[in-house]
């Protein structure tokens, strides 16, 4: 495990440490900054941040529950490889939840929401082709906005906890990320919500969230060492 000083991974010592540490380690794993199969040390992290081991232990437990690390008592803790079955399972559940979300939004279109979503689409278009990492953040914001606007912010929190493996695959695919295609799909979703086309809104979000089904085999073939089929 390599720990380096980076403002993106700094802790705010005036805020609760555990949640921050969980977020930092999760992001580093998702972005493959902490590589699949590598060891991660509770003691080393506590020493690096000059904190006690308790918040590190709490963060490790949450990461283990998300399927991101494997805690092996008296041995070592390692970054787990991506489980393709978990990716497919998370995608299936996410599609079901978000399909209901957009159906709710299309039932009663909100002009203010549509304006906000179109502003987000414009921002997505500005970074398309130049900054895939920023685009992933904007994509996340788009889907979170849909959930919150439907009155289901808690559903998005559930999805966030569920889709860790999906996010890891997404970062592996940045080199051939189909940003213009995804933006066009986002636009179709917004258009359907605006005119109140419930069935088409549902179809649009389902199609959008099925993209990973087409990309996963290629991503896995190009990066076999990141997946659980690779030997430990």
Is the sign of the CA dihedral 17, 20, 26, 29 positive or negative? negative
Exposure on the CB side of residue 192, measured as CA atoms within 13 A = 23
Reported pTM: 0.84
pLDDT over 70 percentage in the chain: 94
Q: Which helix (H) or strand (E) holds 77?
A: strand 77-79
If asked whether residues 56 and 72 sit together in one domain, one would say yes
To the nearest whole percent, how much of the chain has pLDDT over 90? 56
Closest C-alpha to 227, from 57, 35, 99: 35
pLDDT at 205: 97
- 173 and 89 fall within a common domain: yes
CATH number of the domain residue 11 falls in? 1.10.10.10
Question: What pLDDT is stored for residue 4 in this prediction?
Answer: 54
Is residue 171 included in any domain, yes or no? yes
Number of helices followed by number of strands (H, E) in the chain: 11, 3
Which range marks the domain in which residue 28 is found?
Answer: 7-79
| pLDDT at site 55 | 92
The tens digit of pLDDT for each residue in 153-190 reads 899 988 988 888 899 998 888 877 788 999 999 999 99
Residues 194-212 have a mean pLDDT of 96
90 and 75 fall within a common domain: no
Choose one of 79, 113, 128: the last residue of a domain: 79
Residues 172 and 110 in one domain: yes
In which band, very low, low, confident or very high, does the pLDDT at 8 lie, cut at 50, 70 and 90? low
On whether both 64 and 115 belong to a single domain, the answer is no
Residues 88 and 104 reside in one and the same domain: yes
Contact 50, 56 (CB under 8 A): no
The DSSP symbol for 9 reads G
Closest listed residue to residue 88, CA positions, set 199, 223, 232, 228: 228
Q: Does residue 112 sit in the same domain as residue 181?
A: yes
Co-location of 40 and 133 in the same domain:
no
Q: Which residues contact 176 (CB under 8 A, 6 or more apart)?
A: none
Residues 206, 115 share a domain: yes
Residue 75 lies in a domain: yes
* Confidence bin at 48 (pLDDT 50/70/90): confident
Q: Note whether 138 and 209 are same-domain residues.
A: yes
Q: Tell whether 2 is covered by a domain.
A: no
pLDDT tops 90 at residue 99 = yes
Span of 6-10, 50-54, 99-103 with lowest mean pLDDT: 6-10
CATH number at 201 reads 1.20.120.530
d(CA 195, CA 190): 9
Question: In the prediction, which pLDDT does 208 show?
Answer: 95
Q: Domain boundary residue among 61, 79, 97?
A: 79
Give residue-wise pLDDT tens across range 122-145.
999 999 878 888 999 999 999 999
Task: Give me the mean pLDDT over the 28-47 stretch.
Answer: 89
């Amino acid at each position: 495990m390599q720990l380096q000083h980076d403002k993106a991974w700094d802790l705010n010592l005036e805020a609760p440490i555990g949640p921050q540490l969980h977020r930092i380690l999760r992001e580093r794993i998702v972005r493959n900054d902490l590589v699949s199969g590598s060891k991660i040390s509770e003691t080393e992290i506590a020493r690096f941040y000059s904190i006690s081991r308790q918040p590190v232990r709490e963060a490790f437990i949450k990461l283990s529950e998300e399927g991101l690390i494997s805690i092996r008592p008296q041995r070592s803790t390692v970054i787990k490889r991506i489980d393709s079955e978990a990716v497919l399972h998370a995608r299936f559940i996410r599609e079901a939840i978000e399909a209901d979300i957009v159906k709710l939004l299309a039932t009663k279109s909100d002009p203010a929401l549509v304006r906000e979503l179109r502003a987000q689409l414009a921002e997505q278009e500005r970074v398309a082709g130049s900054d895939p990492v920023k685009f992933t953040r904007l994509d996340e914001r788009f889907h979170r906005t849909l959930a919150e606007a439907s009155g289901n912010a808690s559903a998005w929190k559930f999805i966030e906890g569920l889709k860790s493996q999906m996010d890891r695959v997404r970062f592996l695919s940045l080199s051939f990320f189909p940003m213009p295609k995804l933006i066009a799909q986002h636009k179709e979703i917004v258009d359907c919500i605006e005119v109140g086309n419930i069935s088409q809104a549902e179809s649009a979000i389902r199609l959008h969230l099925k993209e990973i089904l087409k990309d996963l085999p290629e991503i896995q073939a190009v990066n076999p060492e990141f997946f659980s089929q690779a030997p430990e």
